[in-house]
Chain A
């Protein structure tokens, strides 16, 4: 196991009380594994991604541990985490388009960043990696404003993985891109793993279809908790959790006309995490909920590597 997250609880501090964005997440990630993290907005997937590298000011580490390569990460301690960031855990942020300082040429910015982390800039290696994602070396002598959106995205991908981190968190990296660029980004990420720039990866997204193409394992989250985690094919072809099933049902299929039957979404909306209901959090929207669901379902391993948190699965 390269990454082991146990009972992780991260709450947002608000004036009305704690918002339990992550409420006891447990999962593991093997060396070389790409984990697709899927869920509706507000389910805690971005919070999980942030918790592993840098919590923002309102987030509070309430409990649980994160162990990476046999070493516990001090995720609640912003200063202590600095040493781990970039070298062990790195991030491709959601906002890759605006992640680069607009008033520095890229070569200088990258050099300054690497120096500040005590690393020696290796320009040859940098250029090699840039050409791997289709960026010409001249880009280094430009300002970020002179690059297209897709180029900025790829540049950020190269920068984030320069120090060969063990774990890479890709947070909604494809959300702002058109379909052909999405494919290029996905291919580049797979290439990074193949070249050994990153060991394992958490790919946070709300796009189930795209995740299926690049992830080995898919983890579905609901209301701050794990709903189902299984190999990508199993999740798509034989899901066990009713939420995963409904999520898949709400995706349009290629070649099917939805003239007679309207594409169904999932009725209702996720519960407030300020005072989450007891029992199964999906109960109110679940078509097969029963008496038993008033009690919280444990995460059970139904088949090897297939974890489901549902009484009825």
Chain B
């Protein structure tokens, strides 16, 4: 068991290292000069002043040092928990910018991923044994999974926001409100949260339902199900076993899909101008904000890695075969 998790941790550590390195590289090899655009924003015309500002900013962000030095500095700062200062929202520290955005993204991703997984599995398992449901749910499921997140998001915003006017189409809360813990504000948050949540939830739901339906049918035709039926076990027991075993590949699927789901959430946030990490990334790119972009990516990478690790642990708990594999087989 310890060896298994040791190996897993090593792999996650390596992934983290590579991800951080790539993360550092991408903004630096992006076309455009962030300092130049910052200086340009200041609307200074005197050449000496421009030169002075340029020199100041360049040394402030450490961009005057050789690349390898920048890379090492980056790791050093990272380990101290320092993500640098945002260029776009100068001089706010990147960590502060991210902290304000993270709750929105988490509130969007965690419920939509978990709920769609749970509901999709139940739905699929149910559809597998009802012909009528199977013939209706399955086509709907196919259409839903085939939909790109942002497209469904646009459709929902148009139908429920613009035409019906039930939900707001942009923002995390009304402009007339200040964030606080009052009931009215929380209700307003929920109101704004509904459409982005729905678009994420619906697209993922179809995929899980289809996967589960197929897995359940496979499990119900497997040898152990047949044996139990031959011994007259009630279908309730057989279905319970089948569901339990069919969930295992779905857990793997969740681990594999996690990255895609997060990416979908980021795009959806942009559609609804939801103040989470997705919108932050867009702003960071538009303003060539290296440090913000790095920090956000890093946060996402860390989140996905941690979630994957949790799934790994869950899998070991629910599937005895992985445990047996770790201990070595014994006859």
Q: Report which A residues bind B (CB closer than 8 A).
A: 53-54, 81-87, 90-91, 93, 95, 98-105, 112-113, 116-117, 143, 145-148, 151, 156, 159-160
Contacts and interface: CB of A to CB of B under 8 A. Distances in A.
Nearest to B247: A103
Closest 8 CB pairs of A and B: A85-B232, A99-B227, A148-B331, A98-B223, A86-B231, A82-B232, A95-B223, A143-B320
Interface residues of B, number: 26
Given A101-B224, A147-B331, A117 B321 contact: no
A112 B320 CA distance: 18
Nearest to A97: B223
A105 B329 CA distance: 15
Contact of A113 (B226, B228, B319): B228
Given A98-B223, A100-B224, A112-B237, A91 B321 contact: no
A98 B224 contact: yes
Contact of A53 (B230, B319, B330): B230
B244 interface: yes
B241 A145 contact: no
Nearest to A149: B331
A160 B231 contact: yes
23 contacts: A54-B229, A82-B234, A83-B232, A84-B232, A85-B231, A86-B231, A86-B232, A93-B223, A93-B230, A98-B222, A102-B224, A103-B241, A103-B244, A103-B318, A113-B231, A113-B237, A116-B233, A116-B236, A116-B237, A143-B321, A145-B324, A145-B329, A147-B331
B245 interface: yes
A194 B110 CA distance: 61
B255 to A, nearest CB: 18
B1 to A, nearest CB: 16
Most buried by A among B224, B228, B232, B320: B232
Most buried by B among A81, A93, A116, A148: A116
Interface string B230-262: 111110110001001100100000000000000
A104 B222 CA distance: 15
Contact of A151 (B226, B237, B331): B331
Nearest to A147: B331
Given A116-B237, A145-B320, A102 B245 contact: yes
A82 B234 CA distance: 8
A206 B320 CA distance: 36
Contacts of A98: 222-224
Contacts of B223: 93, 95, 98-99
Contact of B319 (A86, A100, A103): A103
B330 to A, nearest CB: 6
B321 to A, nearest CB: 5
Contacts, number: 82
A90 B231 contact: yes
A93 B241 CA distance: 19
Interface of B: 222-224, 226-234, 236-237, 241, 244-245, 248, 318-321, 324, 329-331
A93 B244 contact: no
Contacts of B230: 53-54, 85, 91, 93
Chain A interface mostly: loop
Given A85-B232, A103-B320, A156-B227, 6 more contacts: A54-B226, A91-B230, A99-B226, A103-B245, A113-B231, A143-B321
A140 to B, nearest CB: 14
B109 to A, nearest CB: 29
A102 B320 CA distance: 8
Contacts of B231: 85-86, 90-91, 113, 117, 159-160
Contacts of B318: 103
Nearest to B225: A101
Contacts of B224: 98-102
Contact of B241 (A53, A87, A101, A143): A101
A54 B231 CA distance: 9
A92 B232 CA distance: 13
Contacts of B330: 146
Contacts of A86: 231-232
A133 B248 CA distance: 33
A286 B233 CA distance: 45
Nearest to B327: A146
B135 to A, nearest CB: 19
A94 to B, nearest CB: 9
A159 B331 CA distance: 19
A116 B231 CA distance: 10
A103 B319 CA distance: 6
Nearest to B330: A146
A100 B241 CA distance: 11
B226 to A, nearest CB: 7
A91 B232 CA distance: 11
Contacts of B248: 103
A81 to B, nearest CB: 7
B321 A104 contact: no
Contacts of A159: 231
B232 A81 contact: yes
Contact of A93 (B226, B319, B329): B226
A101 B240 CA distance: 11
A104 B241 CA distance: 9
B243 to A, nearest CB: 11
Contacts of A54: 226, 229-230
Nearest to A90: B231
B268 to A, nearest CB: 36
Contacts of A83: 232
Nearest to B240: A112
